[in-house]
Chains A and B, each alone.
Chain A
Amino acid sequence: MTLGYLVRRLLAVILVLVVVTFAVFAITMILPGNAAVMILGEYGTDEAVAALERRLGLDRPWYIQYFDWFGGVVVGDFGQSLRLSQPVADVVGDAFWNSASLAVTALMSVTIIAIPLGVLAAIKRGTGSDLIIGIFSYIGASMPEFVTATLLLVFLAGPALGLLPAGGFIALNESIGGFASHVVLPAATLGLILTAHISRQVRSEMSEVLASDYIRAARLKGLRERRVIRRHALPNSLAPAVAVISLDMGYLLGGIIVVEEIFAWPGLGRLLILALENRDLPVIQAITLLLAAVYALSNLLSDIVIAMLDPRVRYA
C-alpha cells in the first residue's frame, strides 16, 4: 500500500469519472426533446423554443457544450439548472446532504445488524437459527424497495397504527427527534434489502473460513471455541465483509432514488427524477457524476480498509 499505489488508484478513479461524464453527456444529447421544449411545454411555438434554446446555450455544437461544461466542473462550477435558473451547485448541494444523512443512517444500521447476523448464521449453520435468518434474507433480497416501502407505509404509517409519518423530511439540525421519526421508514426500506444481501454474503464467507485448515488446527490445539471464533475466524472474515459492503453501495445508490421518491425525501434521487423528466441536463450531469464518484471512492476506501485488515495484501 504505497503512496504511489494510492495515487495511481485515484488517477484511475478520475479517469473513470471522465468517461462517465462523457457517456452521460452523450446519452442526454441523444434524448429527444430538450430542456427548452420541456419548459415551454406544448404551447411553445418554434420561434419561442429556438429563442429559449439560444438563451440556454442549447444550440451550440455538442463538443462546445461538453467542454464548456467540463471546464466549469473542473473549477467547481456545475452550471445553471435549466429548469430553475439557479446554480446547479446550490440546487444539488442541499439535496446531497439530505441524501447523505439518509444513506449514512441506513448504512450504519445495516452494518451493525447484518454482519453479526451473518456471523451467527455461519456459526450455527444448519440449525434453526440459521434457517430463520436464511429465510429472512431470501425474502429481503427478493423485495424491491418500492414494495418494502409500500408495505411498511401501509402497516406502520397508516391511520390504523399511525406510528410514523408517511413521508417528508425534517433536517437534523432542526430537530433530532423529528429527523429520527422521518428517517426510520426510508432507512428501514433501504436497510432491509442491504441487510439481506450482506448477511447472506457474510454467512458464506464465514462458513468458508470456519471450514479452513487453520480453524481446525486451532481447535485441535485445545483452544476454547470462543477464542477460535473471536481471534481466528472473525479477523479473516472481516476483509471479505468489507468487500461485500462496498459492492452493495451500488444497490444503495440505486435504491435511494426510489426510496426518496416514495417518502418525499428531498435528496438527490428525487432531484434526479425531476431532472430526467425535464431534460435538465446540467443537473442530470451533476447528480450522475456525484453518485458515480461516491461509488468509485467507496470502492477505493474499502480496498484501503481491506489492505489494513489483511496483512497479506498490505505488501502488494
Chain B
Amino acid sequence: MTGLALLVLVLGAAIFGPFLAPYDPQAFHPTVRLQGPSAAHWLGTDQFGRDLLSRLLNGAPSTIFFGLGATLLGVGAGSVIGVIAGTAGGWIDSIIMRILDGLLAVPELLFTLLIVTILGGGMGQAMLAVAIAFTPGMARIARSSVLSIRTREYVLAAVARGEPSHYIVLREVLPNAAGPIIVESTIRVAFAIMIGATLGFLGLGAQPPSTEWGLMVAEARQFMFRNAWTVAVPGVAIAMAAMGFNLFGDALRDSLDPRRSH
C-alpha cells in the first residue's frame, strides 16, 4: 500500500507538476545561488539561483512519462511477439526464440546505448531505444506465460471442441496469461525511469533546457560539493518514483498469485 501512495504522489507530480511550480523553472535568481532549503525556496536553489522545487516539478512529466511510454511500447511490441511465438509453436517459435536469445545476450543498458547512438540523442529517441531494448525480455515473459496457460485443461477442452484458433487465443489464453505480463510491466516502468534518467545524465536523453531529473543531476555535478541538494533532490526523486512502481508491482504480483485466492 505504501507503493500505491507513492505512486499516486509520483503520478500526481507528473501530471500536475509543471502547473504547481511556484517559480519559473528557468528563471535565474542570482542573489540566492546554491542555497539550501529556505522559506522562499523549499528545496533550495542551483548554481544559477533557479528554484529546485520548481525545476523538479517541471521535470516530473519528462521523467515519469518517459518511463511509462517506453514501457508501454516495449511491452506492447514484446507481448505481441511473445504471444505469437507461444501460440504458433513449431518453427516460428524456434526462430523467434533464437533471435530473442541473440538479442538477450547483450546486456540491456549496452543495447540501449547502441541504439540511442544510432538514433541520436533526445527524449523521443531515447524512449524508442529503451522500448526496443525491453522488447526481447518482455517477449520472453509473454511467451512463457502463454505456454503455461496453453496446457491448462480448459484450453485443452476448447481445442478438443474444435474452437477456432482466434477464439482460443483471445478468449481463453490471453485473459489468463495477462497477469504475469502486467506485473512485469509495472516493474519495468521503474526500470525505464531509471534508464531514462541515466541517459539524461549521460547527455543522450533529454537535452537542455529540459529539467528532466537525470539531466538535473548531470548539470549540477560540478557544484555538488557546494550544495548537495542540487544533486540530492533530483536523485532522491528518481529513486522514489522507481520505488513507487517497484512496490506497486510487487504488491500486484502477490495479489494475483493464484495460491492466495483460496
> Which A residues contact B (CB, under 8 angstroms)?
16-17, 19-20, 23-24, 27-28, 30-32, 138-139, 141-147, 150-151, 153-155, 158-160, 249-255, 257-258, 261, 272-273, 276, 284, 288, 291-292, 295-296
Given A27-B118, A142-B242, A150 contacting B110 (CB threshold 8 A): no
> Which B residues contact A (CB, under 8 angstroms)?
98-99, 101-103, 105-110, 113-115, 117-118, 120, 190, 194-195, 197-198, 201-202, 214, 217, 221, 224-225, 228, 231-232, 235-236, 238-243, 246-247
Note all chain A residues with C-beta closer than 8 A to B101.
Answer: 16
Closest 3 CB pairs of A and B: A254-B109, A19-B102, A142-B242
Given A146-B197, A250-B107, A296-B105, A151 contacting B242 (CB threshold 8 A): no
A273–B199 alpha-carbon span in the complex (Å): 12
Note all chain B residues with C-beta closer than 8 A to A144.
Answer: 194-195, 197-198, 201, 214, 238-239, 242
Instruction: Name the residue of chain B whose CB is nearest to the CB of A143.
Output: B239
A253–B238 alpha-carbon span in the complex (Å): 22
Note all chain A residues with C-beta closer than 8 A to B246.
Answer: 138, 141-142
Instruction: Name the residue of chain A whose CB is nearest to the CB of B197.
Output: A144
In the complex, what's the smallest C-beta–C-beta distance from B9 to chain A, in angstroms? 14
Contact across chains for A23 and B110 when beta carbons are under 8 A apart: no
Contact across chains for B198 and A146 when beta carbons are under 8 A apart: yes
Instruction: Name the residue of chain B whose CB is nearest to the CB of A257.
Output: B109
Instruction: Name the residue of chain B whose CB is nearest to the CB of A12.
Output: B101
Contact across chains for B120 and A32 when beta carbons are under 8 A apart: yes
Instruction: Name the residue of chain A whose CB is nearest to the CB of B187.
Output: A141
Contact across chains for B118 and A31 when beta carbons are under 8 A apart: yes
A142–B194 alpha-carbon span in the complex (Å): 8
B interface, over-half SS: helix
Pick the contact of A292: B106, B194, B238 (CB < 8 A): B106
Note all chain B residues with C-beta closer than 8 A to A23.
Answer: 102-103, 106
Contact across chains for A31 and B117 when beta carbons are under 8 A apart: yes
Given A139-B243, A154-B231, A257-B113, A291 contacting B106 (CB threshold 8 A): yes
Contact across chains for A20 and B105 when beta carbons are under 8 A apart: yes
Contact across chains for A291 and B110 when beta carbons are under 8 A apart: yes
Pick the contact of A142: B102, B115, B190, B224 (CB < 8 A): B190
Given A139-B239, A147-B239, A276-B113, A254 contacting B107 (CB threshold 8 A): yes
Note all chain A residues with C-beta closer than 8 A to B239.
Answer: 139, 142-144, 147
A144, A251, A258, A261: most-surrounded residue (chain B CB, <10 A): A144
Contact across chains for B202 and A20 when beta carbons are under 8 A apart: no
Contact across chains for B225 and A254 when beta carbons are under 8 A apart: no
A158–B222 alpha-carbon span in the complex (Å): 12
Given contacts A19-B105, A254-B107, A273-B113, 9 further A-B pairs with CB under 8 A are A17-B105, A19-B102, A20-B106, A32-B120, A143-B235, A143-B238, A146-B217, A251-B107, A257-B113
A215–B73 alpha-carbon span in the complex (Å): 44
A74–B122 alpha-carbon span in the complex (Å): 37
Contact across chains for B228 and A146 when beta carbons are under 8 A apart: no
Query: 20 A-B contacts, Cβ less than 8 Å apart?
Result: A19-B98, A20-B105, A27-B118, A31-B118, A138-B243, A141-B242, A142-B194, A142-B240, A142-B242, A144-B194, A144-B239, A147-B197, A147-B238, A154-B225, A155-B228, A160-B225, A249-B107, A253-B107, A292-B107, A295-B105
A141–B191 alpha-carbon span in the complex (Å): 9
A104–B14 alpha-carbon span in the complex (Å): 39
Contact across chains for B224 and A150 when beta carbons are under 8 A apart: yes
Contact across chains for A159 and B201 when beta carbons are under 8 A apart: no
A17–B109 alpha-carbon span in the complex (Å): 17
Given A138-B246, A139-B239, A146-B198, A292 contacting B105 (CB threshold 8 A): yes
A261–B203 alpha-carbon span in the complex (Å): 12
In the complex, what's the smallest C-beta–C-beta distance from B135 to chain A, in angstroms? 13
Contact across chains for B102 and A20 when beta carbons are under 8 A apart: yes
Given A30-B118, A158-B225, A295-B105, A258 contacting B202 (CB threshold 8 A): yes
